[in-house]
Amino acid sequence: MNFFSGISYNLRGLKLGLKSPRLLALGLIRFVVVIGFTILAAGLALTYHDDLLLTLWARPDSWWLVWLWYLASWLIGLLLFGLATVVAYLVAQILFAVVIMDIMSQITERRLSGDVRTGAKMAWIPYFFFLFKQEIPRAVLPVLISLLVMVAGWLTPLSPITTIVGSLAAVVFLAWDNTDLVPARRHEAFGARFRFLFRYFAFHLGFGLWFLIPILNILFLSFAPVGATLFYVERVDGKEQRQHAD
């Protein structure tokens, strides 16, 4: 059931985000930030592609080896583009998007409950560094796990399986990046928040499946804080309130 709830809540978040002017503006800003950084990084990668290739391997004179040189050029270009995209996402996410995500989450929580529950009050600059510190493991973990699984696929004959596992692991952590906004804002311990991920693993898997759809994944990522906050306030906070009532 949690799996299908994850699919539903991400879609609900997107619909609410598109209907609310403030959420729509913030989601579009995040969309533009991520796309802008990606285009900039990809452009730099392609600009220095030829210089890097010539540094590693000058174009051979023999026609028998030229085809290998072109193949290496294509592979290096693909690798640089992929690396640039990942780095651009991490930079945009850690330095800019985490603030936008938190604001979107607070707007959603206030719409649902009338208030925003937080931990200790902080001035803006300390709060920014608090968000920055929280975002580093949430943003870096999916990338590290995906790279480890990818390398494991290269070293073993199980690459089709490891590709699927790596993709699913990445979307689960990307989903957690959004559901963790509320407990992180309330200053809950990192260990408890990490256990929350595995307690609702099926939900995070369903929530993250939308991130596997090309092109649409950026749109769903832009508004994912809304759906994740809907889930946390309605299901997690709601469960706690029912337990206290009993």
- Reported as a single tens digit per residue, the pLDDT across 199-241 is 999 999 999 999 888 878 888 988 999 999 999 999 888 777 7
Residue 11 above 90 pLDDT? yes
According to the model, what pLDDT value does residue 106 have? 94
User: From the DSSP assignment, how many helices (H) and strands (E) are in the chain?
Assistant: 12, 0
Instruction: Decide if pLDDT at 181 tops 80.
Output: yes
Q: Could you tell me the two tokens for 6?
A: 């994850």
Residue type, position 27, single letter:
G
pLDDT of residue 161: 75
pLDDT of 65 > 80? The answer is: no
Distance CA 209, CA 212 (A): 6
Residue 230's pLDDT is: 96
Domain spans in the chain, listed from the N-terminal domain onward: 2-237
Classify 204 as helix, strand or coil.
Answer: helix
pLDDT per position as a tens digit, 196-205:
999 999 999 9
> How many alpha carbons lie under 13 Å from residue 182 in its C-beta half-sphere?
27
Handedness of CA 178, 180, 183, 187 (dihedral sign): negative
User: Taking the model in full, what pTM does it have?
Assistant: 0.79
Binned at pLDDT 50, 70 and 90, residue 150 comes out as: low
User: Which of 36, 18, 168, 24 has its CA nearest to residue 93?
Assistant: 36
Q: Is the pLDDT of residue 76 over 80?
A: no
> Are 17 and 231 within 8 A, CB to CB?
no
What's the rounded Cα separation, in Å, for the pair 242 and 231? 15
